[in-house]
Structure 1
Amino acid sequence: MTLIYKILSRAEWASAQAAGRFDGSAVDLADGFIHLSAADQAQETAAKWFSGQADLVLLGVEAEGLGEALKWEASRGGALFPHLYRPLLTHEVVSQRELELDADGVPQLGVLSA
């Protein structure tokens, strides 16, 4: 099992839970897919895109369960990132936790399972 991760606001996650699906944040909708990160990419993603943002949630999703809609594509620095080309169904989320910011305002993910 390979876990991949999505960082989103608590409000976005609450809306997704009510709907049973997460269609994507503004950047996801603009790009046409849901941006996800592998375990070794998630902390850098948090620092680059979410610094200074409170009320964040980290979702863990089993990559193999997403089927052919999950594509690993070159992104930051040529690294392959997981992109989901369909909504993320809330029942596909296997873990969730709220994130704390460090003294510099960077969300801290801690140790993630790969």
Structure 2
Amino acid sequence: MTHTTELDDGTLARLPIGQWTDAAHAEVISFIRRWLAARGLTRDATGRLRLAEPGRQAHALVKEQLPGVRREIHAGIDDADYVTTVKVLRRMILNVGGEEALARYPI
């Protein structure tokens, strides 16, 4: 299997954005759900947060630990690269008529 770190920039530039956004979404959401579940926080079938008893006790701690989760997800990515990535994704969303989608995400 070839990993993207082994591909040259020209090859990476030709690969479809959809596969990267889909993979990033799936992997980051899966990571966050596992992280929350390990602390007793889960979602019910309707998507609402359900607190099991251990979750009720951990809820305040989770809020304190979120900066660490962000650091883990962003490890090896400097803020300038992250900002560039977000700007590129926002531009692509606008390019395909996604103004309404961007409006759902404040800031």
Whether TM-score is above 0.5 comes out as no
Larger RCO (CA under 8 A, 6+ residues apart): 1
Bigger Rg, which one? 2
Normalization by structure 2: what TM-score?
A: 0.21
| Higher helix residue share | 2
Normalization by structure 1: what TM-score?
A: 0.21
